[in-house]
Structure 1
């Protein structure tokens, strides 16, 4: 709706559309936010135990890549060996078409370099089905549509719970607006603590003194 409204605004500005913007009076639909699930450390261990039992030689490393860097499954699938260098991973085939680079530890970096060819895709075939089958062998229950995406949510959630800041997370995940990243704000250990620290209750004694009635400021009966 926003894009269509913008198209007509441009057309009106260029005098290619004569009349009012037909989308100007249309109100945006309010949609409830989908709860973002993430894996606990115990669930992560259970998942990777199941992944190691898979016949796919790619699924474990792809899942690790998503979990360690916050990548989408499709970004991991399309990663080329040329973009794994100097202990960093660069994603170029992203949803918003913006490149982003993530550092990785040296051990995982060497695993990536050794896994695929020197040029081209590191993972020539998709391992989505192998991931699905491994997930089904665990007791993990996820909301609809968050199967492989739970790895990205898990990275972001643990990043914030461990003290990471939202602006850095926004750059890591490649969100165009901070509003998308704010979905993880409630996981911060310091989330809204200012309400306790700076709110009106601070330094105010709200206990009743003997002989007063609740709601009676004078204490008279």
Structure 2
């Protein structure tokens, strides 16, 4: 391997962040999270190695250096949870993969490093009846009819099509009336094709008919009360109000409707690969968590219904 250029660490980080925002088209907040994590890592290395940090020093970090950093994050002034430490380690791995691709320089120690064990929480779904209550209730809410129709349309997209709330709010005038299939760009700039049930298309069309504001092709269709772009917090606040009125658990959130979409499809016989594509998950292991949700639901039913329970 040819000698590496002594590129200062801040420049290496800047090139990495440009790669994330440019080539990979990651969201601004995601890039900012990477910047925080890698800056913390490089700052630690500078003190740990007691030398100005450049590309060769970054590539040459030994296993004990990585372990010292993870221990520092677990026991330092700002103690991180196991899940947060794993996130830092994941960011570091992404950083080193970029270095390997760009400069053909790999680190032999990093593959040997394991983070703390993390028990991933199961996605919190609501029952089909609870989901339908959340979707139907806005129409009986006080206030402007078009606002009620708007809330119902957004929640219908979350539950009926498995959209993230940000994806639902990104729909523009060019997307309406909704076709039977919708091409969406989700996390990481990944596109996916989502089937749209007639009842969802009707809910969105009903909102568009009642909305007092003009629908331009390039502007988001979902508007706030004064005509501005609808913020996710407005829908989240409405769902909090609804679950209080309906007596639903705190786990009933807009994102829980997306989880419910997947869980109810799986319970109805949907296969994991199809659900993975519908949700836009990069890894099948992410989608497989819904099998645990369904198993947990079955265990609860068994415990409550079996005569020997």
Q: Same fold (TM over 0.5)?
A: yes
CA shift for structure 1 position 4: 1.6
SS in 1 for 2:194: strand
What are the within-5 Å matches in structure 2 for residues 10-159 of structure 1?
10-11=98-99, 23-54=110-141, 55=143, 56-57=147-148, 58-84=150-176, 85-92=178-185, 94-116=186-208, 117=215, 119=217, 120-124=219-223, 125-126=230-231, 127-143=235-251, 147-159=253-265
Shift of 1:130: 1.7
Q: Structure 1-normalised TM-score?
A: 0.70
Structure 1 counterpart SS, 2:273: helix
Conservation of the 8 A alpha-carbon contact between 1:157 and 1:184: yes
SS at match of 2:193: strand
What is the distance in 2 between the residues matched to 1:35 and 1:62?
24
Contact 1:81 1:121 (8 Å CA) reproduced = yes
State the structure with bigger RCO (CA 8 A, min sep 6), 1 or 2. 1
* 2:289 corresponds to: 183
Structure 1 stretches of 4+ with a deviation exceeding 6 A read none
CA contact (8 A) 2:239 2:254 kept: yes
Tell me if the contact between 2:159 and 2:260 (Cα under 8 Å) persists in the aligned partners.
Answer: yes
Structure with bigger helix share is: 2
Which of the pair has more CA radius of gyration?
A: 1
1:170 correspondence with 2:257 = no
Deviation, structure 1 residue 14: 5.9
Change (3 A) 1:157 1:22: same
- The 2-side partners of 1:177 and 1:44 are apart by 26
Structure 2 unaligned regions, length at least 5: 1-88, 209-214, 224-229, 299-309
**1:40 to 1:112, Cα distance in 2 relative to 1, 3 A:** same
TM-score by length of 2: 0.52
- Give 3-state SS (helix, strand or coil) of 1:96's partner: helix
| Compared CA separation, residues 136 and 175, structure 1 to 2 (3 A) | same
Tell me if 1:7 matches 2:95: yes
Specify the SS of the correspondent of 2:246: coil
What is the root-mean-square deviation of aligned Cα atoms in Å? 2.9
State how many pairs are aligned: 185
Query: Residues 83 and 9 from structure 1, CA distance in 2 versus in 1: closer, same or farther, beyond 3 angstroms?
Result: same
